Chains A and B, each alone.
Chain A
Amino acid sequence: MHAPLGARSQMQFWIIQGLNSLSLGGLLFLLSSGFSLIFGLMRLANLTHGAFFMLGTYFAAVAMRTYTGLNIWVTALGAGLVVAAIGGLFERLVLTRLKTNPLGQVLVTLGMSFIISDACLVLWGGDSIPVPTPHNLQAPTRLFGFVFPTYRLVLVGCAVATAIALYLLMDRTRLGAMIRAGVDDRQMARAVGIPVSNLFTIVFCLGAGIAGAGGVLGGPILSAYPGLDADMLPLALIVVILGGIGSLLGAFVGSFIIGFVYTFGTALFPELAYIILFLPMIFVIAFRPQGLFGRVGA
């Protein structure tokens, strides 16, 4: 419950929480775009996604603790590559063997997420480890006399940049065209000679890599801690179900809708935080099962 003490504090409430919503939306897009990509092409709810994200965060926390002054952007790139490689191996060695068994695939991704989270616990212990905010972004930004953390604003920029890059990749490149063909009609794509199995690996790497890099970038806000994976996975699911399966635009819009709903929900009705978070999803499933931007029968 906020304080309606005068117009200024009213305005401050809406501005600050609005910015908060944007930054959470940005974070959610970094989390869920990879999930959406994988889901779209492979029809696979990759429940390891939260663990990939957490792996990125731990990677950043440990690397930046060991090498103080390590640049967060370099770390994000490195973590993205490492997690992409892990994802690729997992897809090649495990998932392809189960390709005739979709339920088995989903269960295996769940099992993998447990393995990763326990491995993190063994390797790095049960403490929460901070990811430092980059030095030049530590000072809060002052906007019209209101204070807001600079890093959160930058995070929104990162999400937008990622969205544009993914859009260009999907819309302007040959690889993107092949992926879109695979999303629309897998059998037909195979028939015209698109190597769908290789595409699966590439997309899985890409999705995992974005999650890993997103985990690094989300680190200064979230910190690395056991259970981060389980906290983040439902959020990715909500975004993707809301936005529409396999739709990049859906993931983008869905992320910011959830960002706003969650932030204002917790600010205005703190007791109902979780109800507010899941309510839009229930409505969407009930009235528009394909999601806001999903295609029917895809």
Chain B
Amino acid sequence: MTISRRQFVSGVAGAGIASMAAPNLCFAQTSGPIRIGLLAAKTGPLASGGIDMELALTMFLKDHDNTLAGRKVELIVADTAGVPATARTKAQELIEKDDVHCIIGPLAAFEALAIADYLTERQLPTIGVAAAEDMTQRHPSPWFVRLTSTSAQCAYPLAEYSVRELKYKKIVTIADDFAYGHEMCAGFQRAFEDNGGKIIQKIFTPLATPDYGSYVAQVKSADAIFLGTAGSNGFRFLRQFIEYGLKDRMAVIGGMTALDESVLRNMGDEALGILTTSWYSAELDNPLNKAIAPAFRKQFRYDPGYYAASTYVSGEILEAALKTIKANAEDRKALMAAIRGNNVQTVRGLVKFDEFGNVIGDVYIRKVTRSDGRLVNSVTKTYPDVSQFWTYEKAAFLKNPVYSRDYPPAKNLEL
């Protein structure tokens, strides 16, 4: 590599000015910028969420002039394509080749599980988005935190709300036939039945279901149906549900991804009035979100949802941790301790982590309404400081098997 005289002079001058302007840089053992690796599925069926994750994190960094805690930040985005094996390859690339200081993502549980052991082994601070319960329960990693929610964490408040406020007695659940759907419905069922309700039918549909007609026609008569779906499946199910004239006969409620903002933006009046639960809404009434959500909407012309918020909050958490450790991202132990130890005000509200690295934060019951012509999830009730263990005793919770298709057993199914 050759360096021209002009480049050399401007480089030296620049470095001089930088160290004058930010004297604390001299204390940190800096070697270039802080490198953040983002694992996001930008192609394939999960692309919608993955693209939002990149947009939001890029926006966060741009808002901060690509500087966190006084040190330049470089973002390296790797496309996992929603495939576990690719996620593993890309994670390795980020660590070995790009030498990142921390990783944000990936989106899907099966991707996160595919790389969890590797990241722990390499002792790389990871701010996770995927919801698999056991990553912060029976198999936690000291190098992993999750700022979103476990599969079931947001379902508990809605289950309680369904009994106490909505007075539902019988509910049918439907979800995609994989761990995320199983875990969410299991958690919902547990809290709903512990409050006196009955889950009378559980339907799990294959992840790739071309026609929901035969499932819709099976739905038994109940007070409501709970959608534990992710991505476009819930939305496609819901349309068929309406075409079969069922929406007049029973209410629809949903989990944290069922009517996410990314789904809502392609829906019409049929979504109005549906209640869902999540750790975020673009309509959240806190000062940070009131500035960020409209800015996001202005730039990208739609509301930020689960995926956009997940990386934005990741950025906020990372910034706070870097401030605590004076931007010395090379000290991974200190960085991880700071991430776990800080209580950070973010666009989703106050984020704290429990000893397993999972978030304790507010969960919101939201209702689809129309505002300025577009559909939004307006908050109707806030459940403060919801833990992944809900109101259950931690040790007993962890002694049980992890939630699944058959655990806890559904005792009130109507045959």
Contacts and interface: CB of A to CB of B under 8 A. Distances in A.
Interface of A: 1-3, 13, 16-17, 20-21, 23-24, 27, 118, 121, 125-130, 133, 138, 140, 147-149, 151-152, 220-223, 225-227, 230-232, 235, 262-264, 266-267, 270-271, 273-274
B213 A140 contact: no
Nearest to A23: B213
A231 B45 CA distance: 11
B357 interface: no
Nearest to A140: B245
A-B pairs with lowest CB-CB distance, top 5: A128-B232, A126-B48, A126-B47, A227-B45, A149-B243
B213 A263 contact: yes
A127 B235 CA distance: 11
Nearest to B232: A128
A147 B214 CA distance: 14
A115 B204 CA distance: 32
A231 to B, nearest CB: 5
A267 B218 contact: yes
A55 B217 CA distance: 29
Contact of A267 (B48, B214, B266): B214
Contacts of A1: 415
A20 B219 CA distance: 14
Interface string B192-227: 000000000001111010110111011010000000
B50 interface: yes
A227 B263 CA distance: 16
Nearest to B45: A227
Nearest to B52: A126
Given A23-B213, A127-B232, A226 B45 contact: yes
Interface in B263-280: 263, 265-268
Contacts of A231: 208, 210
A23 B210 CA distance: 12
Contact of B236 (A16, A125, A147, A223): A223
Contacts of B44: 226-227
B217 A267 contact: yes
A144 to B, nearest CB: 15
Given A148-B244, A270-B204, A125 B48 contact: yes
Q: Which of B43, B205, B243, B414 has the most CB of A within 10 A?
A: B243
Interface of B: 43-51, 203-206, 208, 210-211, 213-215, 217-218, 220, 231-232, 235-236, 239-240, 243-245, 262-263, 265-268, 414-415
Given A126-B47, A225-B45, 5 more contacts: A125-B47, A129-B266, A220-B239, A221-B240, A267-B218
B210 A230 contact: no
Q: Which of B208, B213, B235, B415 has the most CB of A within 10 A?
A: B213
A131 to B, nearest CB: 10
A2 B415 CA distance: 7
16 contacts: A17-B214, A20-B213, A24-B213, A24-B214, A126-B45, A128-B263, A130-B268, A147-B244, A147-B245, A223-B236, A226-B45, A231-B208, A262-B211, A267-B214, A270-B215, A274-B206
A28 to B, nearest CB: 9
Nearest to A139: B245
Given A149-B244, A222-B236, A235-B210, A13 B48 contact: no
B266 A126 contact: no
A146 B46 CA distance: 37
Contact of A128 (B208, B213, B236): B236
A235 B206 CA distance: 14
Nearest to A263: B214
B43 A118 contact: yes
A266 B214 contact: yes
Contacts of A24: 211, 213-214
Contacts of A267: 214-215, 217-218
A221 B244 contact: no
Contacts of B267: 130
A216 to B, nearest CB: 15
B262 A223 contact: no
Contacts of B239: 130, 220, 223
B213 A226 contact: no
A225 B46 CA distance: 10
Contacts of B232: 127-128, 223, 225
B378 to A, nearest CB: 21
A225 B262 CA distance: 13
A13 B211 CA distance: 17
B266 A121 contact: no
A20 B217 contact: yes
